[in-house]
Amino acid sequence: MTSRGCAVARTSLISIVIPVLNEAEAVDELLASLAPLRRRGIEVIVVDGGSTDGTPARARPHADRVIAAARGRAHQMNAGADAARGDVLLFLHADTRLPADADRLIGQALADGHAWGRFDVAIEGRHPLLPLVARLMNLRSRLTGIATGDQAIFVRRATFAACGGFPPIPLMEDIALSRALGRLGPPACLRTRVRTSGRRWDSRGFWRTVLLMWRLRAAYFFGATPARLARRYDHVPARLAQRYGHAPGPATSTAIAVLARAPVPGAAKTRLVPRLGADGAAALQRRLTLRTLATATAAALGPVALFCAPDRHHAFFGECEERFGIPLRDQCAGDLGARMLQAFAALLPGRGRVLLVGTDCPALTAAHLARAAALLDGHDAVVWPAEDGGYVLIGLRRPAPELFTGIDWGSARVMAQTRERLRRLGWRWAEAEPLWDVDRAEDYDRLAGVNFLHLAGS
């Protein structure tokens, strides 16, 4: 079994992705510990989330790549996965150290048929009960199949892509990823231990830290969304907030409505069925929806709601609800205009500003959404045109049925007709440069330039 594992390790490049934030004091020692692995061909990528202490400069001489990403471990690790060359991705926290033969052990696990896995963990710190905490973490992980970031999760790149990467949520991204990966197969639970620092227990108090972690995980298990937990635990100590990737931003009042169709073969992306087949078109619908939800939640503008067709009971929508912590609503009957109007009518009364998007535009990023929300500050509406004559986004500050009735949906006249309705209303509206969407076979070819691993956009 050992020789087989070594063969896998030699032929499959492993990329180690390390999210960092103000780790100048630790990054030298961390990267020095990885030097033997680098000499054996392992790629090391450091992803900085906006450090102010010189971390990137100190990391640069000792890593293959140092890149910048939006703060938050989920965003940073997705960006690192996007930049990685490896067939296997290993996500390593800055305070965790790998065993010297990590590449061989991962190779063995992959050769044994696993697509993902994690190591056991040992916690190094002052408190005498830390070894017990580590043993309980390892036992819980072995029984549940759930891994934490401290356990150095590794995964085949194709498997990581198939489950959509880390959901861009402020807490529990490692648990959410484990659940998604677990649906594809059980993890390899390696008994060899990685070593992680007990600094958060030592600096903030052992029992205080343990109780806080239990409360977070229990609340998440019983249905609290990551966003709600982040708001509830805004008092989390800085080191714990950093450990969970929690970087709270300014409160806003812009809701985002996403209209999506279930990825049902024969009913999803029907214009692309001649090119991709019914199953391939449905798989594309799934990927586009996951990307759109990742983009919407990463924008962090306000609540995100998913309006589902034919209804919210499809298993895929349940997966979306769990991964992104967003509410599901059924789309109403009627044409696209009626369904869009329903979404605005549902969200505007409680929020005052709503952006609405479909799932057909892989070029749409969190930065586009932020810009659209900013444009609403001085306008009644914002509309982002599509190159085919429609639009990929519309934002309103108040409802207007006139914008959604009598429109030739699906035609090249949609944007022109919408402009005419806005003029009749006497509204001030903003537009931006057109984006492209995926409706037809010729649009599909452009997807080659879009990497679906980097879900949040920039």
Has this prediction a pTM greater than 0.75?
no
pLDDT tens digits, 26-64: 899 999 999 999 999 999 999 988 888 889 999 999 999
pLDDT tens digits, 238-280: 444 444 444 444 334 689 999 999 999 999 888 889 989 999 9
pLDDT at 27: 93
pLDDT at 96: 93
| CATH hierarchy code of domain 254-449 | 3.90.550.10
Q: Which secondary structure element, helix H or strand E, spans residue 159, and what is its range? A: helix 157-162
- Partners of 97 in the β-ladder: 195
pLDDT at 429: 95
Q: Where are the domains of the chain?
A: 2-243, 254-449
pLDDT at 248: 40
Which residues 6+ apart lie within 8 Å of 113 measured at CB?
none
pLDDT < 70 stretches in the chain: 1-12, 170-171, 198-253, 350, 448-458
* CATH topology (fold) of 2-243: Spore Coat Polysaccharide Biosynthesis Protein SpsA; Chain A (3.90.550)
Q: Say if residues 99 and 37 touch (Cβ distance below 8 Å).
A: no
d(CA 54, CA 50): 10
pLDDT tens digits, 92-109: 999 899 999 999 999 999
pLDDT at 209: 61
User: H helices of 222-314, where?
Assistant: 226-232, 238-243, 273-299
d(CA 248, CA 254): 16
pLDDT at 340: 97
Equal fold, 2-243 vs 254-449: yes
